[in-house]
Chain A
Amino acid sequence: MNPIAAYFRSSIGRKQLMGLSGIYLYIFLLIHLVGNIGLLMGPEHFNQYGYLLTHTLREIIIPIEFSLLAAFLLHLGLGFKLAAENRAARPERYAVKASKARSGAYRGWMMLTGSWLLLFVIVHMPHFRFGAYRVAPIANYDGLEMNDLYAEALRSFANPWFTGFYLLSFALLFTHLAHGVQSSLQSLGVNHPRYNTGFRRFSWAYAVVICGGFAALAVWAHFQGKI
């Protein structure tokens, strides 16, 4: 087999693709969070930002969105494939299972939390990425008409079930990132005794910032919409 093709079929090659696509996705989450903080600056700022992404920068944003979709599909496709192989690698389970590593059970939930996040994306994307154009009312700033995504966000988050679903998803995303950020580095060979504690802390801190940030905004929007 061609050595390059063999790399993409090997366990390590696929784990490295898993890590790279994961890195791309979690960097995107940070940018997404920064954009969402615009909610706090009021409807005009937030709607202008939405207009910037969907209209003004359309030619740049759409290819980026396709690359994100590709990374997402690759990440989840490989995830399912690797998990199936991992199950097959131990056909008969242990009767007694214990752990010496005590590294946290959440590290074993990647498949579970990942599947939930797929569900989340299936709910989230049609709503805020595609549906918002249809459901959101129109706002008018200086004669420029744009979708009032701010109003749509506040209206949606006023529903406690909706907010609850988002908060649960962020909690699961937290465990996914707390393991995933560090794991992506290890798979790519980024490991050094001097920095390993730092990588572990960075992984947790990143998960706290991302999930804490999104959750805080969801809670804020929930109470904002009610008042």
Chain B
Amino acid sequence: MNFKLRLWRQKDRTSPGSFQEVEAHGISPDMSFLEMLDEVNNDMIRAGSEPVAFESDCREGICGTCSLVVEGLPHGPDKGTTVCQLFMRRFLDGQTISVEPWRAKAFPILKDLVADRAAFDDIIAAGGFISAKTGSAPDANGLPVPKKDADTAMDAAACIGCGACVAACPNASAMLFVAAKVSHLGHLPQGQPERERRVVRMVSKMDEAGFGNCSNRYECEAACPKEISVEHIARMNRDYGVSSLFGSERVRAEGGAG
């Protein structure tokens, strides 16, 4: 298969970027989108030009590193997949495909298709943890967790922190990511000690990072490769209101791990 690619090229954080038109020849329909880009990069290297920078790690849809906006859709047109699990047979032979990086003020572009998602790390450091005793692991059945809660927590824990929710949101809001983390730990007994502090501090850090506000358009849920539900956002909204206004401790927004 052959494709015409429009790749976003940007030298660094501060330089303005633009599209570069590149031809991709002899692509197998069974290649993933990233393998196709590898081929394009090989051609570029052979031709002596600078290859396009993009991120990837596991290439099996579980690590959350790959981050491309394909034809205006984060992770491409398929539902519930990351872009590394998007295959070229999904496209038409000869099709023009635009590839852009995640775009958000809180995710500055480092180079080409690579955006800096350190803001997510800061949010996790602010409250995405539990306090656990060191020593040997407790017995698995020692702490009863209702099946329903375990399932909901697992649904939220499926978040791989890729940032597609931010990329898809018309307001570049990080609500789905933060909600998934808050909801995941909030459903489990181990998450209860820090429950109030967690939601207040993570939301505060999210606001500080310059993400937009949620306007309930649900683009995040549709773009999420792990299909995390906006139900978690509602739960975070409840938790945040209750913890801020009626919490048993007066939580300061500052603080966190480390």
Question: Contact residues of A with B, CB < 8 Å?
Answer: 1, 3-4, 6-7, 10-16, 82, 85-86, 88-103, 107-108, 110, 179, 182-183, 186-193, 196
Q: Is B28 interfacial (CB 8 A cutoff)?
A: no
A187-B216 contact, Cβ under 8 Å, with A3-B247, A86-B171, A98-B73: yes
User: With the chains together, A103 CA to B223 CA distance in Å?
Assistant: 13
Q: Are B71 and A1 in contact (CB under 8 A)?
A: no
Chain B residues with Cβ under 8 A from A16's Cβ?
Answer: 237, 241
Chain B residues with Cβ under 8 A from A3's Cβ?
Answer: 200, 244, 247, 250-253
Chain A residues with Cβ under 8 A from B213's Cβ?
Answer: 11, 14-15, 82, 85-86
Give chain B nearest CB distance to A112 CB in angstroms.
13
Q: Are B203 and A103 in contact (CB under 8 A)?
A: no
Contact of A101 among B222, B235, B250 (CB under 8 A): B222
User: With the chains together, A186 CA to B176 CA distance in Å?
Assistant: 13
| Interface hub of B100, B173, B214, B239 (most chain A Cβ within 10 A) | B214
A12-B237 contact, Cβ under 8 Å, with A7-B245, A96-B98: yes
Chain B residues with Cβ under 8 A from A187's Cβ?
Answer: 214, 216, 237
Task: Knowing that A3-B252, A15-B213, A93-B103 touch, tell me 8 more A-B residue pairs with CB under 8 angstroms.
Answer: A3-B247, A16-B241, A90-B172, A96-B69, A101-B223, A103-B219, A183-B215, A187-B237
Give the 5 A-B residue pairs with the shortest CB-CB distance, closest first. Answer: A189-B238, A191-B234, A89-B212, A98-B72, A86-B171
Give chain B nearest CB distance to A74 CB in angstroms.
15
User: With the chains together, A94 CA to B106 CA distance in Å?
Assistant: 15
Chain A residues with Cβ under 8 A from B250's Cβ?
Answer: 3
Chain B interface: which size bin?
Answer: 35 or more
Q: Are B236 and A12 in contact (CB under 8 A)?
A: yes
Give chain B nearest CB distance to A202 CB in angstroms.
15
Interface residues of B in 243-258 (CB under 8 A from A): 244-245, 247, 250-253
Q: Are A100 and B219 in contact (CB under 8 A)?
A: yes
Q: Are B216 and A90 in contact (CB under 8 A)?
A: no
Question: Contact residues of B with A, CB < 8 Å?
Answer: 6, 8, 19, 69, 71-73, 77, 79, 98, 100, 103-106, 168, 170-173, 200, 203-204, 206-207, 210-219, 221-223, 230-231, 233-241, 244-245, 247, 250-253
User: With the chains together, A86 CA to B213 CA distance in Å?
Assistant: 6
Q: Are B231 and A189 in contact (CB under 8 A)?
A: no
A88-B240 contact, Cβ under 8 Å, with A97-B72, A190-B234, A191-B235: no
Chain A residues with Cβ under 8 A from B241's Cβ?
Answer: 7, 12-13, 16, 188-189
A90-B103 contact, Cβ under 8 Å, with A3-B250, A95-B98, A190-B234: yes
Q: Are A98 and B71 in contact (CB under 8 A)?
A: yes
Query: B244's closest neighbor in chain A, by CB?
Result: A7
Chain B residues with Cβ under 8 A from A108's Cβ?
Answer: 170, 215, 217
Q: Are A183 and B216 in contact (CB under 8 A)?
A: yes
Q: Are B105 and A186 in contact (CB under 8 A)?
A: no
Chain B residues with Cβ under 8 A from A1's Cβ?
Answer: 252-253
User: With the chains together, A181 CA to B79 CA distance in Å?
Assistant: 28
Chain B residues with Cβ under 8 A from A192's Cβ?
Answer: 231
User: With the chains together, A41 CA to B98 CA distance in Å?
Assistant: 61
Give chain B nearest CB distance to A118 CB in angstroms.
18
Chain A residues with Cβ under 8 A from B217's Cβ?
Answer: 101, 103, 107-108
A86-B222 contact, Cβ under 8 Å, with A12-B236, A15-B237, A96-B71: no
Q: Are B171 and A189 in contact (CB under 8 A)?
A: no
Provide a sorted-by-A list of 11 A–B residue pairs whose CB atoms are within 8 angstroms: A6-B200, A11-B173, A12-B214, A13-B241, A90-B105, A94-B69, A95-B100, A98-B73, A186-B216, A187-B214, A189-B234
